[in-house]
Amino acid sequence: MTTFAARLMAGLFGAMLMFGQTPPPDSPVVGVGPFLHIVSDLDQSLAFYHDVLGRELSGPPGEHKFTDNPAVANLYGVPGRQFRAAVLKIPGSAMGIELVQWGEARKPKVEPIAGPGVATLSLRRSDGPKSLRDPDGFPVELEQSENPGADLTVSVSDIGKTTELYGRLFGLKWDRIRFKKVKAGHAPGAPFPEAGQGMLRVFVRDVDALTASLKNAGWSAITTGGAPVTLPQGQRVIIFRDPNNFYLQLMETR
């Protein structure tokens, strides 16, 4: 791996955002990390998040080149494919925005994304409120506030069932994710990873135990082979799709 790629990977997998409340000692979750967004064209998405929204890049400057990393490709369930990525900071929050492009750039689909599983990124800034769509149709809300930061809202078919499910499986009340009820409709059901899809990184104590729990609850493992993979930096990680078609990336930390 090149020095540039190594520094990029460190930026992709180095951030951690703790929950507002201290997780119980028996909770499988340690905290949550950046929000990941699959994009059609990294350059166009960077122009939106960096130039339009003013988000600062994290990590090395310069051209964002494609990386050939078998472990990450298997993690995303696309063995043999290359990716390129960039991370942007969110003022007032340790949660960043991680943009990932798989394969050659394509013309973004600009139609709005709706239905269960769609995530909306809310940025708290002094110049809100405003509703925007990024080049892939992903919704971004600017909330007027003097306290900068970010929140994530996930559309679900049943708030009560989803809250109970997440609480039971992860052992604590989620206070960095809002659940919003929507009618069944057009959900991002395309094979993962497809532009417009979103995912949240979750730091966990025992990825094997949580993997077993999620599979027993009917969650779908996206990662090749259905088992955690080991990244070059040593982290063991797996991607799951929840019943609402939202994606979680579980990363073990000790």
Which residue type does 246 have?
F
- pLDDT of res. 59: 72
List Cα–Cα distances, 10 to 51, 88, 232, 245, 253, in angstroms.
24, 13, 10, 28, 15
- pLDDT of res. 12: 41
Cβ–Cβ < 8 Å for 177, 152: yes
List Cα–Cα distances, 233 to 19, 236, 252, in angstroms.
24, 9, 12
Number of Cβ within a 10 Å radius of residue 181? 12
The whole-angstrom separation of Cα 66 and Cα 26 is: 40
- pLDDT of res. 45: 94
Residue-by-residue pLDDT tens, the chain, 254 positions: 444 344 444 444 333 333 344 555 677 888 888 899 999 999 999 999 999 998 888 876 667 889 899 999 999 999 999 999 999 998 888 778 999 999 888 877 666 677 788 888 999 888 878 899 999 988 899 988 888 888 889 989 898 898 889 888 987 666 668 888 887 654 445 678 888 888 999 899 999 999 999 999 999 999 999 999 999 889 999 999 999 889 999 999 86
The whole-angstrom separation of Cα 209 and Cα 2 is: 34
Q: Strand 29-38 and strand 93-102: pairing?
A: parallel
**What's the pTM value of the predicted model, to 2 decimals?**
0.85
- pLDDT of res. 174: 63
- pLDDT of res. 247: 93
Question: Which residues, at least 6 apart from 159, have a Cβ–Cβ distance to it below 8 Å?
Answer: 179, 180, 181
Task: Single out the residue of 15, 60, 3, 242 nearest to residue 150, CA to CA.
Answer: 15
The whole-angstrom separation of Cα 53 and Cα 151 is: 16
- Coil, strand or helix at 8: helix
The whole-angstrom separation of Cα 98 and Cα 165 is: 26
- pLDDT of res. 1: 47
- pLDDT of res. 170: 87
- pLDDT of res. 81: 94
- Report all structural domains of the chain as residue ranges with CATH numbers, in order of start: 3-252 (3.10.180.10)
List Cα–Cα distances, 20 to 173, 206, 232, in angstroms.
10, 21, 30
- pLDDT of res. 22: 52
Provide φ and ψ at 85, rounded to 5°. Answer: -150, 165
- Coil, strand or helix at 101: strand
